[in-house]
Homo-oligomer: A and B are copies of this chain.
Amino acid sequence: MRRHGPYSDEPPQTAPAPAVAPAPWTETRVVGRPLPRVDAYDRVSGSAVYTLDLALPGMLHAAILRCPHAHARVTRVDASRAAAMPGVFAVLTAEDASAAIPWYEGAKGPTSRLLDPHCRYEGDEVAAVAAETPLQAYEAARAITVTYEELPFVVDHAEALKPGAPAVHEGGNRVGEPRSYVRGEVAKGFADADTVLERTYRTPCEIHTPMEVHGSVARWDGDRLTVWDSNQGVFDIRNDLARALGLPLTSVRMICHYMGGGFGSKLDLGKYTVIAALLARRTGRPVKACLTREETFRSVGNRPDHTLTLKAGVKKDGTLTALQLTGLASAGAYPAGASAGYQVTDLYLCPNVKVDETSVYINAGQARAFRAPGFPPGAWALEQMLDDLAHAIGMDPVALRLKNASTVSQARGGQPYTSTGLVRCLTEGAEAFGWKAARARPHGTGPVVRGVGVAAAMWGYAGNPNSTVIIKYFSDGSVNLCMGASDIGTGTKTVMAMVVAEELGVALDRIQIDHADTGTTPYAVASGGSQTVLVNAPAVRAAALDVKRQLLDLAAAQLEVAPASLELRASEIAVRAAPGGPPGPSVALGDLRALQRQQVIVGIGRRAPHPAGKVALPFAAQFAEVEVDTRTGEVRVLRLLGAHDSGRPMNRLTFENQVFGGITMGLGFGLMEGRVLDRQTGRMVNANWHDYKIPTALDVPRELTCVPIDPHDTECNSVGAKGLGEPATIPTAAAVANAVFHATGIRLTDTPINPTQLARRLNDARSRR
């Protein structure tokens, strides 16, 4: 189901080019400034309506009964008591024909359906209830009597591949064929190396746990279904929902105006959404199905756990000669992508590379895309290995990376990058961080020691350029920006309005934005894969230029001058004055007769296709300084600096927000998070925010620094922006681990770096001394 990421199976994406590709901006008046969000007040005041907040007249609430066992077969469901409980309007079980919607099907792949009697993990959907209040719904769901036949289970990916392991699906526990990549000949590469290292890294399963839980509200108006859903891309999910219900696309309207975080877990159609639609159809009432926090921990995706064995060879001068990665990862109970090898193939120049990755079914919640799918685990391995290699050959870790920086994508046939800021990220980041001085500073005599580390990253997906944008320019110069893109909390609306303001000279508060509504806005790709800005901003720019062209044409006809001689201002169109010359003739918008007659100018914009034969990807380097209490194993991250080549920073403030948010999430990945499955029962024991720790404000270093590296990329697209959302989180954990190594000499191969682990390792090291 994963749609976004470097390993996507989609064919190369193209979009029809605009008639004339717009010239890159030479200077900008609005774009690039640090502007607060256009919806900041709504977000912080609480007046923004999230799906969770939505209340419709007559709305019912759904509760979903989930399997409490890691693996079981439902042999009997008795919903009679639940159906008779107060406030209950409908009960849906596997026995209802409408619940037999195929969920996974296919000749080779696994087969299951919406409510499947074969439950493959603790959390699989068994039945659902719609009732007047949430409490009535939960109580009724609990009152459904289900008889389960418990089955043997497996919750560890290594165990799952052993002969005789319980089968999650018929046909064994491998998810398809292993993914393999080969370049050159690694055996030869290792032979050429002066130093060869091999280590096995482990990263546990991480849960997205966004602030807003997953949920939908469904309402039927006759044969037309409207669904409010907390998701990252209304169009693709609408398509899947229409397909599940057998409806034309126009009959399903999906809306997501405010969204409280997704990080990849809200790119797919949820069963709760289909359940809400079915219950709403059954009851003739709107139905809200919002999951509980615990449900989201178990059932709506995660970053799979990985076991990655990386072997690397390097020459004394720092030249990488070979990289070999073998990976094993848990897809969970249903098919999911789980690979971590891209950076190994492409971040550094290396002639000999081999990657083999295997995904495995286990009896646990299914993996989904998670901010930079595969990349943080991959970076955890690769960037610590680079640190190890540097240490082994006595070279500075920054210098080693610079030595192997590439200007072409080796994984994509050697195509050149439209811009490569990696070198600048490393050098300018190191400069801003004070790397050399910090690296040379004594660690301290204990018990608290200090150290600094670096890690670099790239992101491997250049986006699907197929969004369409409509801009309406009204007779008073105010503007409607109609785009399908979701603003998943990253400031998309603000950035897009800034592009409109840039081209049409209109103030931000006169731009009204419709977005993420399949009923009113044109198709946009989902906000995932760091593609939102780089796909949609050029489309917005193209639409604005389409408006501008029409507007100048109308004014030119009225003023009887050439359109090219005109410029558009906030409330008038004027002939551009010669430098130092008198103001040229002008016409106020209110006097522009054709505009006042037709009242609106409609502009349509799409992004140009990707530049032929080139690759546009973002790069990053992050620098961390930590303090380790060698008595307790406690790690304090003192400061973190992110130097990011994501092309043009469209809004200096949201750019920084993204970097700081990504770093914070990276700290969670590196220092805190991990799903714990009880090996005795197969159940998740930390499915809540009390037992599953994520960083809070107190866990964030006091000193966070963002260093935007703008390579002034004029080829990647018409606005010069590359993606930022994912690269911001990729290298953080590895940078911290490298700093811990620098401080302590201890190499931690498993996340999370927690005091228990580190104290044990420090103790081991002391006892070896």
Q: What residues make up the interface of A, taking CB atoms closer than 8 Å to B?
A: 11, 13-16, 41-42, 47, 55, 57, 221-224, 235, 239, 242, 248-251, 464, 466, 468, 470, 472, 474-480, 482, 509-512, 514, 519-520, 522-523, 593-594, 597-600, 602, 604, 606
Contact status B466-A599, CB under 8 Å: yes
Residue pair B222, A600 in contact (C-beta under 8 Å) = no
Contacting residues, chain B, for A15 (C-beta < 8 A): 597-598
Residues of chain B lying within 8 A (CB to CB) of residue A477: 248
> Are B510 and A520 in contact, CB atoms less than 8 angstroms apart?
no
Give the shortest distance, in Å, between A503 (CB) and chain B (any CB): 16
Contact of A512 among B239, B251, B479 (CB under 8 A): B251
CA distance A412 to B587 in the complex (A): 31
Structural contact, A468 and B598, CB atoms closer than 8 A? yes
B14, B235, B478: the one within 8 Å of A249 (CB): B478
Instruction: Given A42-B222, A472-B522, A520-B520, decide whether A250 and B598 contact each other with a Cβ distance below 8 A.
Output: no
22 A-B pairs, CB-CB below 8 angstroms?
A14-B597, A15-B597, A15-B598, A16-B598, A42-B222, A47-B221, A47-B222, A55-B57, A235-B599, A248-B476, A248-B477, A250-B510, A250-B511, A250-B512, A251-B478, A464-B597, A470-B470, A470-B602, A472-B522, A482-B520, A512-B519, A604-B604
Q: Is the CB of A468 within 8 A of B602?
A: yes
A514 to B521, CA, bound (A): 11
CA of A230 to CA of B334 in the docked complex: distance in angstroms?
Answer: 51
**CB pair A250 B479 closer than 8 Å:** yes
Most B-side CB within 10 Å, residue of A47, A222, A464, A598: A598
Tell me whether chain A's interface is mostly helix, strand or loop, or mixed: mixed
Across the interface, which residues of B come within 8 angstroms of A250, CB to CB?
474, 478-480, 510-512
**B-chain residues with CB within 8 Å of residue A239 when the two chains form the complex:** 475, 599
Residue of B nearest to A557 (CB): B16
- Judge whether B55 and A466 touch: CB under 8 Å: no
Report chain B residues within 8 Å CB of A604: 602, 604
- Identical copies in the complex: 2
CB atoms of A600 and B221 under 8 A apart? no
**Complex contacts, A470 vs chain B, CB 8 Å:** 470, 602
Evaluate whether A522 and B476 lie within 8 angstroms (CB atoms) in the complex, with A250-B511, A250-B512, A512-B250 already known: no
Contact B248 A597 (CB under 8 A): no
Residue in B closest to A243 when the chains form the complex, CB atoms: B476
User: Considering the chains assembled together, what is the distance between the CA atoms of A618 and B482 in angstroms?
Assistant: 38
Given A522-B602, A523-B598, 15 more pairs with CB closer than 8 A: A47-B221, A55-B57, A57-B57, A223-B509, A235-B599, A242-B476, A249-B478, A250-B474, A250-B479, A251-B512, A464-B597, A466-B598, A482-B520, A523-B599, A598-B606
Contact A597 B511 (CB under 8 A): no
Smallest Cβ-Cβ distance to A510: which chain B residue: B248
How distant is the Cα of A10 from the Cα of B184 in the complex, in angstroms? 76
Select from chain B the residue with minimum beta-carbon distance to A517.
B520
Residues of B near A474 (CB, < 8 A) are 248-250
Are A476 and B249 in contact (CB-based, < 8 A)? yes
Cβ of A272 to closest chain B Cβ, rounded Å: 23
In the complex, residue of chain B having the shortest beta-carbon distance to the beta carbon of A481: B250
Q: Which residues of B contact A522 (CB under 8 A)?
A: 472, 600, 602
- Which of A41, A600, A604 has the most chain B CB atoms inside 10 A of its CB? A600
Minimum CB distance partner of A45 in chain B: B222
Query: How far apart sit A13 and B468, CA to CA, in the bound complex (Å)?
Result: 31
A582 to B498 CA separation, bound complex (whole angstroms)? 55
Chain B residues with CB under 8 A of A235: 599
B514 touches A594 (CB 8 A): no
* List of B residues within 8 angstroms of A509 by Cβ: 223, 248
In the bound assembly, the distance between CA atoms of A267 and B666 in angstroms comes to 58
A601 → chain B closest CB, angstroms: 9
The CA of A718 and the CA of B601, in the complex, are separated in Å by 22
- Distance of A249 from chain B, by nearest CB (Å): 4
Ranked 9 nearest A-B pairs via Cβ: A250-B512, A248-B478, A523-B599, A250-B478, A523-B600, A520-B520, A249-B474, A466-B598, A248-B510
When the two chains form the complex, which single residue of B16, B248, B251, B468 contacts A600, counting CB atoms closer than 8 Å? B468
Q: Who on chain B is nearest to A601 by CB?
A: B468
Chain B residues within an 8 Å CB radius of A519:
480, 512, 514, 520
A221 surroundings in chain B (CB, below 8 A) = 42, 47
CA distance A189 to B209 in the complex (A): 90
Nearest residue (CB) in B for A554 is: B16
Chain B residues whose C-beta falls within 8 Å of the C-beta of A242 in the assembled complex: 476
**Known: A478-B250, A519-B514. Contact between A222 and B41, CB under 8 A?**
yes
Closest to A596 in B: B466
Compute how far the CA of A737 lies from the CA of B743 in the bound complex, rounded to whole angstroms.
106
Neighbouring B residues of A475 by C-beta, 8 Å: 239, 249
- The docked-state distance in angstroms from the alpha carbon of A706 to that of B395 is 95
> For residue A464, which residues in chain B have a CB less than 8 angstroms away from its CB?
597
Assembled-state Cα–Cα distance A470/B42 (Å)? 30
Taken together as a complex, chains A and B put the C-alpha atoms of A269 and B381 apart, in Å, by: 67
Least distance between A521 CB and chain B CB atoms (Å): 9
Whether the pair B224, A512 counts as a contact (CB closer than 8 A) is yes
A291 to B439, CA, bound (A): 77
A538 to chain B, nearest CB (A): 14
C-alpha spacing A249/B596, complex, angstroms: 13
What chain B residues lie within 8 Å of A600 (beta carbons)?
468, 522-523
List, in ascending order, chain B residues with CB within 8 A of A16's CB. Answer: 594, 598
How far is it, in angstroms, between the C-alpha of A47 and the C-alpha of B320 when the chains are bound?
70
Q: How far is the CA of A11 from the CA of B250 in the complex (A)?
A: 39
Instruction: Give Cα A16 to B598, complex, Å.
Output: 9
Q: Please give, as numbers and ranges, the residues of chain B lying within 8 Å of A13 by CB-CB distance.
A: 597
Nearest-neighbour CB distance to chain B for A19, whole angstroms, equals 13
A647 to chain B, nearest CB (A): 23
In the assembly, what is the distance between CA of A606 and CA of B42, in Å? 37
Contacts of A57 in B (CB 8 A): 55, 57
A285 to B426, CA, bound (A): 54
| Closest chain B residue to A597, Cβ basis | B466
Distance to closest chain B CB from A207 (angstroms): 31
How far is it, in angstroms, between the C-alpha of A248 and the C-alpha of B479 when the chains are bound?
9
